[in-house]
Amino acid sequence: MNSKKTYSLVVLSLLFCVLITGLAFAKNPILVGCPLPLTGPYASDGEQMKMALELAVEEKNASGGLLGHPVKLKFGDVGGLEAEKIKAIGERLIGAGVNAVITGYDDGGVDTKVFGAFDIPYLHGNAMTLCTQPVAENLDKYWNVFQYTYNDVAYGVDAAKYLFDAGKQMGWKAPNKKIAVIKVDYAYNIMPADKFADLTKKDGYEIVVNETVPFGMADWGPILSRIESKEPAYVTFWHLDPTDAARFIKQFSEYFGDDGLNALVYMQYTPSVPEFIQLAGKAAEGVIWVGGSFGFGAKYEDYKKRWIKKFKSEPAGLYAEATRDAFDIWAAAVEKAGCYDCYKEIADNIRSSKYEGLCANYSFDPKDQSIYQSDDTMPLVWFQIQDGKNIRMRPARYNEGKAYRMPSWIK
C-alpha cells in the first residue's frame, strides 16, 4: 500500500472516530452532583476529591461516555460542613437536575436526609453513624443512600484493639495504664472516642483526662498541663480539623520538649488531610494515626501514573482514590442497568455489587448500606509520621517494611 493511500485511510479513520464520538455526545449529558468541601478547613481534602472526579469523567468520556452519553460534573462547595450550607447546596444540585450525587465527604449529620429525599443515587464517604442510622431505621425511604466507607465507631474499636501493640513493636514499655482522651465536639470524633474509652476501661485502663473541646482551639496549654499532672501513657486525639490538630501537636512538642513525656500520641484520621504535615512540621514526627484504606496494589499504581500525568503531583489522602472508586461503582451500576435514570435499578445494582477498587474490596451491608469494614475489605490503616512522611504500619499487607520509631518526646 502506497503512502498516499495509507495517509487517506488514517484520515478517514480519524474522521470516523470523531463522527462516532460526536454522534454519541449529541445525546443529553449525564449530570453528577458533587457537594465537596472546597473552602474552609477541609479544602485540601476537597481538592483531592474534585481532582479524582475530574479524572474519572475525563477518562470515561474519552472512552465514549456512559451509555453513549457524556458525563458532566456539577460542583457545590459545602465549606466547613455547616448543616445549613449542606442543605442549600443540596437544593441547588437537585434543582440543576443531577442524575446522581457523589462526594468524598459532605457530612454534617443532615446529608442522608437532604439527598435521601430524592430518587437519585447518593454515594458518600462520610464515615458517620449519623449518616447510616437513618438508612438502617428506614431502608424503604433511604434506599438510594450508600456509604462507601465504614462507620466512625470502627475507629474506636480498632484503636482499642491495636494501639497497645504499637509500643511493644517499638520496644517501648508503657509506664502505666492511664489514657488521655481529647475529642472535638463533633459526632464523627465523639462516637469513636467514647467507644474507645468504654472498651479500654473494660480492659483495666483508666481514662485520666477526658476533654471535649470546641473547634478553633488556639491555646492547648490548660489541657497539656492536665496531661502533665496525670502522666498518661497514651494521649489520644480525636479531632477532624487539621489546623487545630497541628496546633495541638506543635504546642505539645514545645510543652514537653525539655522534660519529655513517656507516652504515645494517637490521632484519628486528621493527619490524612494533606495540609496537616505542612502545618505541624517536625512536631508531628512520631505521631501514630489511623485512617481509611489508601491506594494499594497494581491497579492503584497504574491510577497513580495517570493522576501524576494529569495533575503533576501524587494523589494525597484517602479521598483521592476512594472518591474515584465511588464513581466507578456508580458507573458500573448504570452500565449494568442500561439506563442512567432508572434509579431504583441502579441502586439495586450498587447494593448487590462487589467491586475491587483502588483502596478496598467493596460490598455493602444490607442493613445500612455502608461498606463492610475489615482487613480484607476496607481496612483501617495505621501510620506513623517519620521524616515528614506517612509510613504505613498495618495491616501487614500494607506495611512498608519499616518499624515504629520511638517519638522524640519520650526521653
Long-range contacts of 91-94 (CB under 8 A, 24+ apart): 93/33, 93/34, 93/35, 94/33, 94/118, 94/120
Q: How many residues does the chain have?
A: 411
φ/ψ of residue 180, rounded to 5: -105, 135
Q: How many whole angstroms separate alpha carbon 318 and alpha carbon 307? A: 14
* Beta-sheet strand order (sheet of 389-394): 206-213, 178-184, 234-238, 264-268, 288-291, 381-386, 389-394
Collapse the DSSP code of 335 into the 3-class scheme (helix H, G, I; strand E, B; otherwise coil) and give the result: helix
b/e code 358-384 from CB counts within 10 Å (16+ = b): bbbbbebbeebbbbebeeeebbbbbbb
Q: Sorting pLDDT into bands at 50, 70 and 90, what band is 19?
A: very low
Residue 382 in contact with residue 394, Cβ under 8 Å?
yes
Given a cut of 80, whether residue 331 has pLDDT beyond it is yes
Sketch out the chain's domains with CATH numbers.
Answer: 3-150+295-362 (3.40.50.2300), 153-291+380-398 (3.40.50.2300)
Q: How many whole angstroms separate alpha carbon 398 and alpha carbon 379? A: 10
> What's residue 107's pLDDT?
80
DSSP code per residue over 214-263? -TT----HHHHHHHHHH--SEEEEE---HHHHHHHHHHHHHHTTTT----
Average pLDDT, the chain: 92
- Cell 460526536: give the residue: 22
> What's residue 25's pLDDT?
52
> What's residue 266's pLDDT?
98
> What's residue 105's pLDDT?
93
- Cell 466507607: give the residue: 149
Q: Sorting pLDDT into bands at 50, 70 and 90, what band is 119?
A: very high
**Tell me: the pLDDT tens digits for 265-315?**
999 999 988 889 999 999 999 999 999 888 888 999 999 999 999 999 999
Given a cut of 70, whether residue 400 has pLDDT beyond it is yes
Given a cut of 70, whether residue 133 has pLDDT beyond it is yes
Angle in degrees, CA 160, 237, 276, rounded to 5: 125
Using alpha carbons, select from 65, 64, 108, 104 the residue that is nearest to residue 86.
Answer: 108
